[in-house]
Structure 1
């Protein structure tokens, strides 16, 4: 340490950081490096993780890929290793044990999904030794982020199909899985959905602004501050082409829960479509009940964004539904659609779940 020749006040500094301020992160890193000297060497797999964190995908997709890369996704062989008394045979092909590699690459169903997609991948020759080796080679060779996102969407569609078959006894459908992946990509890659997924907790950085609500109808602005009725909506979606549960719970101006209804809706292509149809049914009920000042609450940010932009960039499966919603809103004096947290729609979600499961 350099000793200054100038008479200045002494102060304590922490050397490992540029600012001289101690942090738990830097302290942990120093302790780890001293105990394990090799830890400070560059990780040859670091580029894989760096690329993963840079991909602009929903947090649940990142978590899903992270679990796959660490081989902790709850496939049957992993559950068996952890002591669960289960049959490890793949529930889609009934030919081999359901490992991570079998589920996504070796299963004939998955191979047909990959070949049927626009990626046109063929794992019949030289299939990857592990999920990690596949992802490592994939992200290093492919620089088009949309192709990487497309592959992750297909992986997610395969996982969702597996869960639908395993837990809901849904019939295996190659076409539905490909349509599901395409639907996700259409929604996600739309310019309307280019919103931040993480909020910085640092007071020095600006907070991103999310659209919290959208006014769908204001025929009489003067009553916007008056008492209004509230309807919480939710759609329970299982798989592409399957019937969805639709529910809404009505609260009066004193916030008393006075009415609730759940119905089994038609087949749906996405959870966003199920949520939009639930909103449409709730609006129809409100018109029939002569309600003219309404607050609709949903936990679907995508639906809010689409209606905020007047459905200009929505895909074909949502355009007609959104048009009906906007048209029906003209029957009211004032309608607001508000984005709320999942726990705020718990009552409607439970109703939608029950009507779907027990239909």
Structure 2
């Protein structure tokens, strides 16, 4: 089988999830060449570290053991959407990755690389934060990495351009959306852009009693996020007409919005006090990515912030 390392990396034109990201490509190159700083490699270089695997404490931590043979990693692979028996890949990390790339579709390969990255994150939590390996934590890391990968592929990363119709707005803009399910299950999501360059994104699980309250909470989260960046001007884009009307026209909340009264009044005050903030109502189909994040926050809960493809 005559495959080069370049062929086993994500192809530039076809893999939307991992399209051309230098950090990911460099990480995969290091994995394939055994160049990531695992315990056994550091010990061979004379660095005084424990060479034993931090996740299973049962074998030397080389790349092949960490990614494919560690009992925890094997459990993660078997429980993943790919359901791989990673013990069968103990043929050398480079050979294993080249072989799997030749057998997988682009979407499968994107998932394969995300799983490797999530295992590496879990390992680092064990090594540097003294956390015990946990499948739930691995699944959360994998979910976060998949979200980052998707957004990096759809929005772009630092220095890349994005085909996104935003209209005549200020340079810094924030797409904001809320999601509401049943009872008190809500989610909030935002995507911050500067021109056509991704600046960051967040999603949360939030308690909300109605859709308007979820949208209002999302706007308040977005305001706090923008303030934390210390940017002077920002246009907020939202597909909720109630929130947009209050923020753009500075109209006090009406009685029919009583379930979200506190949040809407806070939005009204925030925009009234800051003349550098503006708001525009946009169609739902132009706010699809913030909607995806809001739904992720509602379904999975928690809170996550990303700026580019995961380091």
Shorter-chain TM-score category? 0.5 to 0.7
Q: Counterpart of 2:154?
A: 194
The DSSP-based 3-state class of the residue aligned with 1:136 is helix
Q: Deviations over 1:6-46 (max 9, x none)?
A: xxxxxxxxxxxxxxxxxxxxxxxxxxxxxxxxxxxxx9443
Query: Given the alignment, which residue of 126, 130, 155 partners 1:165?
Result: 126
Higher RCO by CA contacts (8 Å cutoff, separation 6 or greater): 2
Structure (1 or 2) with the larger CA radius of gyration? 1
Q: Is the 8 A contact 2:68 2:86 kept in 1?
A: yes
* Mapping for residues 4-15 of structure 1, pairs under 5 Å: none
Question: Which consecutive unaligned segments of at least 5 residues does structure 2 have?
Answer: 177-198, 203-223, 233-262, 278-284
Number of positions where the alignment pairs a residue of Structure 1 with one of Structure 2:
210
Q: Counterpart of 1:60?
A: 23
Q: 1:289 to 1:320 in 2, by over 3 A?
A: farther
Q: Counterpart of 1:325?
A: none
Return the TM-score normalized by structure 2: 0.54
* Mapping for residues 252-263 of structure 1, pairs under 5 Å: none
Q: 1:290 to 1:214 in 2, by over 3 A?
A: same
The DSSP-based 3-state class of the residue aligned with 1:154 is helix
Q: Is the 8 A contact 1:75 1:100 kept in 2?
A: yes
Q: Is the 8 A contact 2:118 2:138 kept in 1?
A: yes
Are 1:141 and 2:103 matched, yes or no?
yes
Q: Counterpart of 1:105?
A: 68
Q: 1:130 to 1:94 in 2, by over 3 A?
A: same
* Mapping for residues 1-359 of structure 1, pairs under 5 Å: 44-46=2-4, 48-54=5-11, 55-56=15-16, 57=18, 58-124=21-87, 126-142=88-104, 144-186=105-147, 188-189=149-150, 193-197=153-157, 213-214=172-173, 249=228, 287=266, 290-292=269-271, 293=274, 308-309=287-288, 311-314=290-293, 316-319=295-298
* In structure 2, C-alpha distance between the alignment counterparts of 1:149 and 1:74, rounded to whole Å: 23
Question: Which consecutive unaligned segments of at least 5 residues does structure 1 have?
Answer: 1-42, 201-206, 218-231, 236-245, 254-283, 297-305, 323-338, 342-359
> How far is 1:64 from its partner?
1.1
* In structure 1, C-alpha distance between the alignment counterparts of 2:300 and 2:119, rounded to whole Å: 27
* In structure 2, C-alpha distance between the alignment counterparts of 1:105 and 1:86, rounded to whole Å: 22
Return the TM-score normalized by structure 1: 0.48
> How far is 1:102 from its partner?
0.6
